[in-house]
Copies of this chain bind each other. A is one copy, B any other.
Amino acid sequence: VTVVGQPTLEAVAALAGVSRATVSRVVNGSPRVSQAAKDSVELAIAELGYVPNRAARSLVTRRADSVALVVSESETRFFSDPWFAVVARGMAVALSETDMQLVLVIAQSERQRQRLERYLLNGHVDGVVLVSLHGRDPLPRQLVAAGVPTVLVGRPVDEIDVAYVDADNKGGSEAAVRHLLERGRTRIATIAGPQDMSVGRDRLAGYEAALRGAGLPVDPALVGEADFSEEGGARAMLDLLARQPHLDAVFAASDLMAAGALRTLRGAGRRVPDDVALVGFDDLVTSQHTDPPLTTVRQPLADMGREMTRMLLATIAGEEPDPVVIMPTELVVRASS
């Protein structure tokens, strides 16, 4: 048998002296194959360097053997970058154990959104991970309605019945603020994130819970809000300082905002941490490099990537995994406690 190009099942079958069907069974690990057949087929496969043709396989199995990581990026990027990289890597690593592909999709314009929808809803992937940063996006609903296995990164704002994995934003924030309380701080301000995102809300909730747990009131004058950016953090800090010059600590709901707050505090002649203690959430961008390095709450992003992949694969396999996974966070105490 003369073979040109990539070897096919046919070629393997010929070399192994069996039928295509048998080769297929061996390749797919069917138990209904004799040891002898299996051996000779595997030999032939190795010899020929045979690799199954995914397209042909997909065509008949109606599986895509791929999952999509969708970054629906219409708003500002927020802190998406470092986030995204770590999560994507976590997924890619998890998938590299299987023979599923990770397809990365970004939809910016409305036209692309349309295409994306069709693409996802028409079975071109077996499952979808949505990095759904914006307020409310119809996509999760549509996917769920269409029966496409879907996992969200971050709790959705609206109550929708979809699986998601999130960090323990509330618990982490609570720990951060408790840490400040334990150091004797009593006028603790917060720079909260956008309140139309569950991350923003949950981190504020943690702040409030910690205060209440200590029997302290939540003073609205001590609550600022920004958009997770450094600029926003700097401005919010300025506001807070104007409203409550006597604050002695700040919990910022992102490390970028913490860096901004630090800048403002410095500019205002406040000493950190002696005068004002500063703690941030996230441990990605900058906290290690500020002077002094900031105490932060760390979320296990790589683990989250792995976890969401696990959930997705289980769903695809027809199992019913825990629909909600909250990953623990960790307080990383540095100099400026």
- Chain A residues in the interface with B (C-beta under 8 A): 6, 49, 51, 53-59, 64, 66, 69, 71, 81-82, 84-86, 88-89, 92-93, 96, 99, 101-108, 112, 115, 118-119, 122-124, 230, 259, 262-263, 266, 285-286, 288-291
Contacts and interface: CB of A to CB of B under 8 A. Distances in A.
Given A81-B85, A81-B86, A119 B289 contact: no
Contact of A59 (B53, B105, B112, B119): B53
11 contacts: A54-B55, A55-B55, A71-B89, A81-B89, A85-B85, A85-B88, A93-B106, A96-B105, A96-B108, A102-B103, A289-B290
Given A85-B81, A85-B85, A289 B105 contact: no
A246 B70 CA distance: 53
Given A71-B92, A96-B107, 20 more contacts: A49-B118, A51-B119, A51-B124, A54-B55, A54-B124, A55-B55, A55-B56, A55-B57, A55-B59, A82-B82, A82-B85, A89-B106, A92-B106, A93-B106, A93-B108, A96-B108, A101-B103, A101-B105, A230-B288, A289-B289
A122 B303 CA distance: 32
A56 B122 CA distance: 14
A309 B124 CA distance: 22
A71 B122 CA distance: 29
Contacts of A55: 54-59, 64
Contacts of A93: 106, 108
Contact of A102 (B105, B112, B123): B105
A86 B69 CA distance: 16
Contacts of A285: 285-286, 289
Nearest to A118: B51
A207 B264 CA distance: 35
Contact of A289 (B57, B82, B85, B259): B259
Given A122-B51, A289-B259, A104 B82 contact: no
A263 B82 CA distance: 23
B112 A96 contact: yes
A285 B259 CA distance: 13
Contacts of A53: 59
Contacts of A107: 96
